Structure 1
Amino acid sequence: MEFSIRLNAVSDPKASVRAFATIAFGESFKITNVAVVEGKDRQPFVSMPSFKSKERDEHNRAVYKDVCNPITKTFREELYGEILDLYAEMEYSGRAEIVKEVEETLEPEFTVKVTPFEREGSNVLGLARIYFEGCFVVGNVSILKGEENAFVAMPSYRTGQIGKDGKPRYQDVCFPITKQFRKNLYDTILAVYQQEKELAAEKSRKKAETQVQERAEGRQRQELPFH
């Protein structure tokens, strides 16, 4: 899968995060907040954007999970290698920004998986995962209940700023770039959500029918005379 990278240096020399990368798949989808971090051995490594989950590890510390990440070894090595090569060039040249462009900007193919669920008092109707060409996944995509229709919300983070309405402002971590790809992606997610919701309702109906039938057969057996 073709991708471009824009790498920007972090100005604080004491920070462990040395640079942030923005990745674009063609001119269709963008991933931000990909960090180049300097480890304890001073060797840089790539850290994908993550979120704090409700899980705890064996030491009762919060568990962080990647919002998105490569899912094949080949693409992981290619993507991380390109980012680290750009970082090495940045360190050598002293430039604050380096860009790696691609000649072709084809729209990436994608598939979607959706898990519908409803919880009392929540406006979340389901969660989706987007798979780009079988080698990169974006998770934590929400299907939310709107005033009239359901809508898609991409994974985001709290910026620390307050909007004019007095509410905290959020920024998408990854998102469609063009209007056409946004419509294509969001329409697909909502269509798959509706399909999975109908399948789940059908399974629940069949399960209820089976339980009713089993209870009826149980009562019939109990009413049979002993021989």
Structure 2
Amino acid sequence: MKVTAKIVATLTDKGRLKAIATVCLDGEFLITGVRIVDCEKGPGVFMPSRKDKKEEYRDICFPITPELHQKIKDAVLDAFEKQADKADETE
């Protein structure tokens, strides 16, 4: 499965939230609202979520296999690093 990602927003003033990405699967399925968060072990990738009736957050969509989860994470973090490199070049 081909997984591509694009950073749609970079956030510098939102605490641990660093960016928002969109992920495309095989050019046929789009996932918006994927978050990149600064965690203790480095940047983490989190799928879009909503609050339920119990005020708990639940993922809206998520990869079922560990392999797809890793592909999505790698694509998002690669896009994030490339964007950060471009920003460094323009400064």
How does 1:71-86 map onto structure 2 within 5 Å? none
Alpha-carbon distance between aligned partners in 2 of 1:126 and 1:160, rounded to the nearest angstrom: 27
| Counterpart for residue 28 of structure 2 | 135
What letter is aligned with 2:25?
A: F
What letter is aligned with 1:154?
A: M
Contact 2:5 2:24 in 1 (8 A): yes
Shift of 1:116: 5.3
| Counterpart for residue 169 of structure 1 | 56
RMSD of equivalent CA atoms:
1.7
Which residue, 53, 62, 81 being the options, matches 1:160?
53
SS class of match (2:53): strand
- Judging changes above 3 Å, is the alpha-carbon distance between structure 1 residues 187 and 197 closer, same or farther for their aligned structure 2 residues? same
Give the TM-score of the pair, scaled to structure 1. 0.37
Based on CA coordinates, which of the two structures has the bigger radius of gyration? 1
Q: Which has the higher contact order (CA 8 A, sep 6+)?
A: 2
> Hey, which bits of structure 1, 4+ residues long, moved more than 3 A?
none
Which residue, 175, 190, 193 being the options, matches 2:80?
193
Alpha-carbon distance between aligned partners in 1 of 2:12 and 2:49, rounded to the nearest angstrom: 21
Shift of 1:121: 4.5
In the alignment, structure 1 segments of 5+ residues that lack a partner are 1-107, 162-167, 206-227
Alpha-carbon distance between aligned partners in 2 of 1:198 and 1:116, rounded to the nearest angstrom: 15
Alpha-carbon distance between aligned partners in 1 of 2:13 and 2:87, rounded to the nearest angstrom: 18
Identity of aligned residues (%): 25
Q: How many residues matched?
A: 91
Alpha-carbon distance between aligned partners in 1 of 2:49 and 2:14, rounded to the nearest angstrom: 21
Task: List per-residue Cα deviations over 1:20-57 (Å, max 9, x = no partner).
Answer: xxxxxxxxxxxxxxxxxxxxxxxxxxxxxxxxxxxxxx
| Counterpart for residue 38 of structure 1 | none
How does 1:22-41 map onto structure 2 within 5 Å? none
Give the TM-score of the pair, scaled to structure 2. 0.85
Shift of 1:196: 1.0
Contact 2:3 2:75 in 1 (8 A): no
In the alignment, structure 2 segments of 5+ residues that lack a partner are none
Shift of 1:135: 2.7
Alpha-carbon distance between aligned partners in 2 of 1:138 and 1:121, rounded to the nearest angstrom: 22
- Judging changes above 3 Å, is the alpha-carbon distance between structure 1 residues 151 and 142 closer, same or farther for their aligned structure 2 residues? same
